[in-house]
Amino acid sequence: MNTIKPIRRALISVYDKTGLVELGTALAAAGTEILSTGSTAKTLAAAGIPVIAVEDYTGFPEMMGGRVKTLHPRIHGGILADQNNPEHLAAIASHDIAPFDLIVINLYPFTQTIASTNDFAECIEQIDIGGPSMLRGAAKNHGSVAVISNPEQYEMLYRAISNGGFTLEERTRLAMETFRTTAEYDAAIATWLGEQLEVEDEWKAAIFHRIASLRYGENPHQRASVYSNATSWIQPGIAQAVQLHGKEMSFNNYTDADAAVRSAYDHSEPCVAIIKHANPCGIAIGLRIEDAYEKAHACDPVSAFGGVVATNRPVSLAMAKSLAEVFTEVIIAPSYEDGAVEVLSKKPSIRILTLDHYVNSGVERRPISGGLLIQETDLINAPGDSAKLWKQVSGEPVDVEVLADLQFAWRTIRAVKSNAILLAHDGASVGVGMGQVNRVDSAKLAVSRAGDRARGSVAASDAFFPFADGLQILIDAGIIAVVQPGGSVRDEEVIAAAKSAGIAMFFTGVRHFSHA
């Protein structure tokens, strides 16, 4: 059965006029009658393309500043008439309505407008009404009408013109893409209005577009793909990173890279984070990015093998030379100094990514069976995160260097999975205990990994010590100060242990659990 349907009559009304003249020229050359609206019609006419103005066809002028121009039976009747249904054909014939074979519409730029202005009235004016109505009507009636909703689909239209029209399969595909377009448009409007009314928590919508299929998921038997949030151009993240070299990214590469980037950007100083299985095996800051890398790698060189590295500064040539000596799965940075990519590229398997602009979205979504958890991102911006507001509960006042290490440890502990203990010295982690089911085991793990470096270091705990036993392990290893939230019913017992050891202990009043 031949499902190709000729394009005899088209309606074009576009905000984005990219490729409009070329499109009109191709349709006119194919003998297609073109109807159009407003500025679209003027653009086509100025190019010498025969066009019928919609108001001339309907006999009804545009009004209300263009709010009403296509909302007319002669337009929607021509869009919605099932051309295989004799009753529909008779109905439109009785009202002197000609059917359309092609609708080309793109919508007012609502999302771009809300991103650029807080003017409520201006945003409201960018809510398209006629466009979505015509798109949905044509998509519903795709058995008779082809619908183009994006300039990127023009190449497909040109092929159809050459082939004598669209097939039913092509029209169905275009209809699906159109409904996705209008769904995304309406979701953006509903989300924005909810934010304006401060009732956004009552309803959530998010649209994601597939970027690529991955070889597999966490394990080889799991299928996986990577998607980009439709609003990621406002808040870019790891999904928008550009790969300069290396094998394709895997599922685990993406999750570790996401954790690494966020960890590096937890700090304002030049910082390097090395992540393995979503946990840090080294985080450090330094005056130069190569210094930060050397200190981060020294924390746990064994675990750093095959790790994912992120920086919040350009990768220097010196850092690239050091990094090239270690097997690394992924390096992601805002940019690379001259020669750095060339040095790193000598390792054929390393994935070199650039993310020139990173913004934490401020919201985390976590699927659960039958639903979704949504929370504000832990951004380390609570009042208790400022050392000025910490409460010292034991020990003598600490010097500037020790306080700086405590502040570094406190910001860094956010990146460690609970229960989390981190030892730090000279702006670098020296021992990390993570993901244990009790704080004692985390303390033991941090001390074990630090070895001799534990003596003279400071410690951070992401939540309070429920007993003094976890703290005592750190004391016995030689730490000189500790920062923790406090708030345990046994705080006095823990404070007494710190006083007995003569170490400084600070309470923040805020915790930084990270479970997933």
Provide the token pair at 208: 């994601």
State the Cα–Cα distance between residues 255 and 214, nearest whole angstrom: 13
The one catalytic residue in 140, 245, 247, 321 is 140
Select from 50, 47, 44 the least CA-distant residue to 32. Answer: 50
State the Cα–Cα distance between residues 119 and 514, nearest whole angstrom: 38
What are phi and psi for residue 26, nearest 5 degrees? -65, -40
Is 140 labeled as catalytic in the residue annotation? yes
Residue 234 CB partners (closer than 8 Å, separation 6+): 115, 359
* Long-range Cβ contacts of 196-201 (<8 Å, 24+ apart): 196/120
What are phi and psi for residue 229, nearest 5 degrees? -65, 140
DSSP E strand stretches across 369-508: 371-376, 391-394, 421-425, 428-433, 458-461, 481-484, 504-507
> b vs e for 462-495, b when ≥16 Cβ sit within 10 Å of the residue's Cβ?
bbbbbbbebbbbbbebbbbbbbbbbebeebeebb
Select from 403, 413, 409, 406 the least CA-distant residue to 378. Answer: 413
The one catalytic residue in 17, 88, 277, 321 is 277
SS3 content of the chain, % helix, strand, coil (to 5): 40, 20, 35
What are phi and psi for residue 156, nearest 5 degrees? -65, -40
Residue 347 CB partners (closer than 8 Å, separation 6+): 324, 327, 328
Peptide bond into 118 cis (omega under 30): no
The DSSP letter of residue 48 is T
CA distances to 75, 131, 255, 460 from 211, in Å: 37, 27, 15, 39
CA angle 210, 213, 218 (to 5 degrees): 115
Q: Which residues are catalytic?
A: 140, 277
